Structure 1
């Protein structure tokens, strides 16, 4: 029962450590600025889709690049650096350092968080790709006719 009390006593200290790790308001501004930039690029891509398809694609890919950079690069790396740097705050108080038959549970948990986040991100990317393909099918230019179907391998 002492572990539960220690957990709740350590949470404010861990939140302060996270705030310091993220560089406070400057880090928050970078995160919000990146999100805003990704949204703006996505909206520009939607606006340009019918007028200049190639330009809309460029803005769409810029938006996707920002999101992918955060999902697959910045967030996993930041979690590993934070968990390693704050082991005295997190270890044994919020995250158990060891369990029976697992002396390295802290490192296992740290890596499991990264693997779970990456798996969820991959799933979201796949779902988003299918949704975008269904929502915005390829369209022909004005006056262009569809090619006749070849019927497969000849």
Structure 2
């Protein structure tokens, strides 16, 4: 991928405060929700915190197919992959912040607190009426080989 395009993509991801997260419901229809960006590892992995009891959690437990969408002023990025629902202590502590008690009154061990781990498979970046479709694995391999 062109290094300039990759830089634009990473700038969009790093500057985003929220991300549109899409799941698939029991009837096969897409469902989207805006979520706060927590942490990420490049374009490969993203983590979010939410309620175990949420509709989206039930959907991801049934069907892990997911999509993230980043909205820029004149560009956009769609990442397609799978969303894992994590309830292990390590994942929950990784995202826990002081003040989260207002959402999860029992603290980091609240049974209604879980973490989503999104793993990207492919992406589509839109800018200047052009789209750049890419495979995450190939993008990572290309970055490693250019070092």
TM-score for the superposition, normalised by structure 1: 0.24
Counting helix residues as a fraction of each chain, which structure ranks higher? 1
Larger Rg belongs to: 1
TM-score (ref. length: structure 2): 0.25
Greater RCO (CA < 8 Å, at least 6 residues apart): 2
